[in-house]
Structure 1
Amino acid sequence: MSYQALYRVWRPQRFSDVAGQEAVTKTLKNALSQGNTSHAYLFSGPRGTGKTSAAKIFAKAMNCPHSQDGEPCNECDICESVTRGNLNDVIEIDAASNNGVEEIRDIREKANYAPTQAEYKVYIIDEVHMLSMGAFNALLKTLEEPPANVVFILATTEPHKIPLTIISRTQRFDFRRISPQDIIRRMTFILQEKDVAYEEDALLAIAKAAEGGMRDALSILDQALSFSSGSVTLEDTLRITGSITQELLGDYVSASLVNDTEKGLSLLHAILQEGKDANRLVDDTILFCRDILIYKKTGEDVLLKMSKVDDQFKTLAEEADPEKIYEIIRVMNQTHQEMRLSSHAEVYLEVATVRLTQPVSKPASGPAAGPVQEMKADNGDIDALKKKMQQMQTLIEQMQQGGQKPAAPKASNQSRKSRKQQTFKVNQTQVFKVLEKATKGDLVKLKDVWPDLIDFLPAGQKAIMKTSKPVAASPNGLVVTFDYDILCERASNDSFLLESVGDYLEKVIGHRAGMCSVPSEQWPAVRQSFIQQMKNQSGESEEVSSEEQSEPEEEPVVSEAIGLFGEEIVNIKE
């Protein structure tokens, strides 16, 4: 048999195997043992936290004839069939690829038939938030009046996209991110079962990189086993995940604390030259500083997320100024946001390092020197203000005598002009071509798929399109507005983004459409220009030369009015 990934081989088969979700598994087991199961459940939470695994275990336990305390036996024919995925009464559906109304209607029809082998027919709909609004409406009636012996389990990573009418008809269970300790405990059990040597620090590094997902952790462990020669080591794990050793992180934070810019930049360049991920460096630095603060205040290592308490860590926690640690977290968080919209991550990290390693000037302290220096500083400020006020008074008097006006408005006008020059220039020719053939039906179709289109895009393009809004659409084009000019410009110049939008629309709607970008502020003016142009064109086509037309032709309504009331009474107004 071909090799299977660890997360498939070691997929939980009992509720007790599901790591880090004790509240959920205990509630489900009690419901099964007491016979209080519902007809619909919603499992929501981050990826790789056990939602689909728990749904399959629940389906097994519900139909297992030998279940004890809510746990399936995993030995009977039904349990083995569910594990293999070939039991006809347990149907798993991927809503990402089956998100239409027809698929849900098919489920509704088949749900009316009684189960063939098991006691309950269970539908597990994964990524249910990908269903269209029409599909949700089709599912709603079934959830409202479910057939007997049918249970629906909906799993999603984005519950906010599910209509409230669906959520209110289900029992909701929120799966939380799995703690590093639970991930390490599970990996330790697997490695011991496989009789593979490992380093505890390596498992900690994998747990950090997994960010609370057990499936991600087992995938990284699988890579480490393939990369290493029979054992899982810290060096190999760091090379695979792109993480940074705690020693390097400690040196980098220490350089910020002692304001050593040269050391901080050299450490940064050394980390990046090793091929470490820039975003991973920012995340690790934030978590490391968080652990320093927690350990400094509590003195316990139970709450630490990613750090091992060694001599270097203890020294940093004792000597670090909390305000400086807050500053590192704040600057790194700001840098992380700036890096999302840029392809020059190294530059932002260099700027952040320089900012963090610059000494902050503080007023001199001490019982004797303090008051004297403060008085000198106050006197100096007062003298400087007096000089500035005297200069301003002299300047005003000179202008009044010469009849001149202040030059400040001129400067402001220049700044306004420069701001206008910096605004995004709309390609009106391209926009007008779309508007000429635009229809309301095309726009309605586009608005329906627009949120799904944004989710389909990669992170960089998704950030650009987050504030976008479709305002017009034709069979071959669409006009999209953006809240900010810079996002509008990036969208227009990003060929990969334009290609991705065209590909998605071709797949979902059935035809490609070229995207035109317009800032939200300019859209009313652009639309009015198009309307005016259409009026002018229609006016030119119907215009008659005054030389060829001796008398203006009376309209039928006017002639009828004159015939009824007479020319003396009728007053014609344009």
Structure 2
Amino acid sequence: MGYQALYRVWRPQNFEDVVGQKHVTKTLQNALMQGKISHAYLFTGPRGTGKTSAAKILAKAVNCVNPQSGEPCNECDICKGISDGSIPDCIEIDAASNSGVNEIRDIRDKVKYAPNVAKYKVYIIDEVHMLSIEAFNALLKTLEEPPKHVIFILATTEPHKIPSTIISRCQRFDFKRIPPQAIADRMQHILNNSGQAYEEEALHLIARVAEGGMRDALSLLDQAVSFSENKLTVQDALLITGSISQQKLNELAMAIIEEEPEKSIQTLHDLLSEGKDPSRIIEDLITYFRDLLLYQSSPGMKDYLERAIVDETFIRLAESFAKDRIFHIIHELNRAQQEMKWTNHAKIYLEVYLVKLSQGETETLNSSVKEQIDLLNDKILSLEQEIQKLKNLKTSQPYEQEESVKKQSTHPIQKGTFKAPVGKIENILANATKQNLHMVRSNWGQLLEKLKRSHSALLNDAEPVAASDRGCVVKFKYEIHCQMAMNNGEFVQIMNSMLTKLFQKQVELIGVPEDQWIVIRKSFLSQHRDLVKGQSNEQTEDEPLIEEARKLVGEDLLEIKD
């Protein structure tokens, strides 16, 4: 018999051999021991995690003559026949090459026949997501109510492509990626049994590259063993997997921390001359700096490191790098990785970013300068507001005598630098409606989003309080903000335009400070009390609760809000 790949020779033959899927195997074993076997199962998960192997083990376990604690004995004729594929009662179907409705109809016609040898006829449909919609529809009824002697096991790597009507008819088991340590332990067990010498670190390197897939790990191990002479070494594993050695990663990190662009480029070209792929180099660098950050945060988390080996150089680098610098490096490397995906010159991008990272002080300085500029801009804006306030105070002084006369008028307004147009506000109040105000308030957030940042900042503490078909009154919490807004011609023009578009009529924005709004509103209500009272009575004819409140506190103290 010819040579067989390791993943075929060491395929699990019982649930105990399935690595990293305890939550699946334990559930199936308990179900078998308790006799609670379902008619349909759905196994989902990444490639190489044991879905098909678990399906064949389940097929053996339900038909085994001498089961032991939910495990197949692997000694009886049925177990051996299912393992070597000689028993016709365990049918494996590749949905990728049998995706049509005719193949499923053929299955539907044959399920009614009893099994030849075994107790159950088991259908294992691999990559079931490849079936067509018509094929899924043909499978529906049979999958929901198959004959008592039939069990369906569906396996897929893409469960989101399976109709929910199929998923709801199955017991679903999600296979997860296998931890690197579990993969390394399994490979160690295989090599020990085969008598192959190895370096343990080489196995951990292969396990990390496999990314949670046991089949991928065993295929890489097979290649590495064939490449090695007498002993599987770390160098063999590095060459087979295309990974970068810890020494080279340390050299690149050292060149960055010591700000030596020449050294970083030299190390990069050494790796490229060895045939390393630029995308693999940057991926290993990202993982390395992630490990550096993790170890720096908590040295006790060695087990969570994915790429780095904790040696003296690694520890020294962890002590040398500042956390902010590592954050910056990971961010830049991630950006370089994204840009390298869409270019034919990945090597050039990698060189540019390594030079950039090796000049970290410049980057940090630029970042600091940007922060300082932002702070200065904020201070300048604050000073401009104060200067405008002082100018307004100076302008208002000649009119202090006029203000004292106006205090005796019908609409007294407190002395200030901004005077709200009382006449316009009263005109709006006289024609204001709740529908108009509700329309403005419901669209207020959208209006603010359309404004420039400097304009929307003027309305931070403002809100619409009244609206008619010709105007909208906006109350400002602070008088200075109201004055700045209403004196800004561009802002007023934009707001008027947006309100006109909203109302489909010519509408004017009127701003009023909060203290002046209280006085104007109170004066307006006192002059139009009869009208307001009549409207209030009409609104509350059928509201006994409001009428009772009016009797208790009186009309003057009662304020009805929508």
Q: When the two structures are superposed, what TM-score results if normalisation uses the length of structure 1? A: 0.62
2:15 corresponds to which residue? 15
Q: Alpha carbon RMSD of aligned pairs, Å?
A: 2.4
1:354 corresponds to which residue? 355
Q: Distance in 2 between matches of 1:271 and 1:328?
A: 20
Q: Distance in 2 between matches of 1:134 and 1:337?
A: 39
Mapped contact 1:207–1:217 kept (Cα < 8 A): yes
Q: Distance in 2 between matches of 1:173 and 1:282?
A: 35
Q: Kindly report which structure 2 residues correspond to 1:122-521, keeping only aligned pairs within 5 A, or say none.
A: 122-300=122-300, 301-361=302-362, 362=364
Q: Kindly report which structure 2 residues correspond to 1:43-58, keeping only aligned pairs within 5 A, or say none.
A: 43-58=43-58
Higher mean alpha-carbon deviation, 52-61 vs 244-253, is at 244-253
Q: Distance in 2 between matches of 1:14 and 1:316?
A: 46
What's the CA shift string for 1:290-314, capped at 9, x where partnerless?
Answer: 2222222221212222322111121
1:554 corresponds to which residue? none
Residue identity in the other structure for 1:126: D
Question: Deviating runs (4+, > 6 A) in structure 1?
Answer: none
Q: Distance in 1 between matches of 2:352 and 2:37?
A: 57
Q: 1:68: how far off?
A: 1.1
What's the CA shift string for 1:311-355, capped at 9, x where partnerless?
Answer: 112122222222222222222223323333333221221222123
Q: 1:247: how far off?
A: 1.4
Q: Distance in 2 between matches of 1:37 and 1:328?
A: 53
SS at match of 2:92: strand
Q: Distance in 2 between matches of 1:332 and 1:276?
A: 17
Q: Distance in 2 between matches of 1:363 and 1:113?
A: 78
Mapped contact 1:257–1:324 kept (Cα < 8 A): no
Residue correspondences, number: 375
Q: Distance in 2 between matches of 1:237 and 1:125?
A: 35
Cα distance, 1:80–1:363 mapped onto 2, change above 3 Å: closer
Does residue 1:106 correspond to 2:106, yes or no? yes
Q: Distance in 2 between matches of 1:265 and 1:67?
A: 62
Residue identity in the other structure for 1:83: S
Q: 1:140: how far off?
A: 1.4
2:24 corresponds to which residue? 24
Larger Rg: 2
Residue identity in the other structure for 1:312: T
What's the CA shift string for 1:84-140, capped at 9, x where partnerless?
Answer: 012111111111111111111111111111111111111111111111111111111
What's the CA shift string for 1:266-296, capped at 9, x where partnerless?
Answer: 2111111110122221221222122222222
SS at match of 1:58: helix
Q: Distance in 2 between matches of 1:87 and 1:243?
A: 44
Does residue 1:71 correspond to 2:71, yes or no? yes
Cα distance, 1:363–1:214 mapped onto 2, change above 3 Å: closer
Which consecutive residues of structure 2, in runs of 5 or more, have no partner in the other structure? 385-562
SS at match of 2:303: coil
Mapped contact 1:6–1:222 kept (Cα < 8 A): yes
SS at match of 1:178: coil
What's the CA shift string for 1:238-275, capped at 9, x where partnerless?
Answer: 11111100111122123223332222222111111110
Residue identity in the other structure for 1:76: C
SS at match of 1:302: helix
SS at match of 1:81: helix
Q: Distance in 1 between matches of 2:317 and 2:30?
A: 47
Mapped contact 1:96–1:127 kept (Cα < 8 A): yes
2:390 corresponds to which residue? none
Q: Distance in 1 between matches of 2:258 and 2:173?
A: 47
Q: Distance in 2 between matches of 1:61 and 1:358?
A: 63
SS at match of 2:176: coil
Mapped contact 1:296–1:318 kept (Cα < 8 A): yes
Mapped contact 2:255–2:261 kept (Cα < 8 A): yes
1:536 corresponds to which residue? none
Q: 1:378: how far off?
A: 5.4
SS at match of 1:153: strand
What's the CA shift string for 1:356-409, capped at 9, x where partnerless?
Answer: 223244569xxxxx9xxx89x959x97xx99xxxxxxxxxxxxxxxxxxxxxxx
Cα distance, 1:334–1:110 mapped onto 2, change above 3 Å: farther
1:37 corresponds to which residue? 37
Mapped contact 1:177–1:212 kept (Cα < 8 A): yes
Q: Distance in 1 between matches of 2:293 and 2:359?
A: 21
Residue identity in the other structure for 1:332: L
Mapped contact 1:32–1:62 kept (Cα < 8 A): yes
Mapped contact 2:178–2:213 kept (Cα < 8 A): yes
Mapped contact 2:202–2:237 kept (Cα < 8 A): yes
Q: Distance in 2 between matches of 1:259 and 1:297?
A: 23
2:452 corresponds to which residue? none
Mapped contact 1:125–1:155 kept (Cα < 8 A): yes
What's the CA shift string for 1:468-493, capped at 9, x where partnerless?
Answer: xxxxxxxxxxxxxxxxxxxxxxxxxx
Q: Distance in 2 between matches of 1:40 and 1:291?
A: 43
Residue identity in the other structure for 1:188: Q
What's the CA shift string for 1:401-428, capped at 9, x where partnerless?
Answer: xxxxxxxxxxxxxxxxxxxxxxxxxxxx
Cα distance, 1:244–1:164 mapped onto 2, change above 3 Å: same
Q: Distance in 2 between matches of 1:318 and 1:170?
A: 53
Q: Distance in 1 between matches of 2:105 and 2:14?
A: 32
SS at match of 1:151: strand
Mapped contact 1:255–1:264 kept (Cα < 8 A): yes
Q: When the two structures are superposed, what TM-score results if normalisation uses the length of structure 2? A: 0.64
Which consecutive residues of structure 1, in runs of 5 or more, have no partner in the other structure? 365-369, 387-574
Mapped contact 1:204–1:306 kept (Cα < 8 A): no
Mapped contact 1:44–1:159 kept (Cα < 8 A): yes
What's the CA shift string for 1:516-564, capped at 9, x where partnerless?
Answer: xxxxxxxxxxxxxxxxxxxxxxxxxxxxxxxxxxxxxxxxxxxxxxxxx
What's the CA shift string for 1:414-470, capped at 9, x where partnerless?
Answer: xxxxxxxxxxxxxxxxxxxxxxxxxxxxxxxxxxxxxxxxxxxxxxxxxxxxxxxxx
Q: Distance in 2 between matches of 1:165 and 1:254?
A: 56
Q: Distance in 2 between matches of 1:363 and 1:252?
A: 22
What's the CA shift string for 1:47-96, capped at 9, x where partnerless?
Answer: 11111111111111111121111111010001101110121111111111
Q: Distance in 2 between matches of 1:343 and 1:265?
A: 19
Mapped contact 2:256–2:360 kept (Cα < 8 A): no
Mapped contact 1:20–1:179 kept (Cα < 8 A): yes
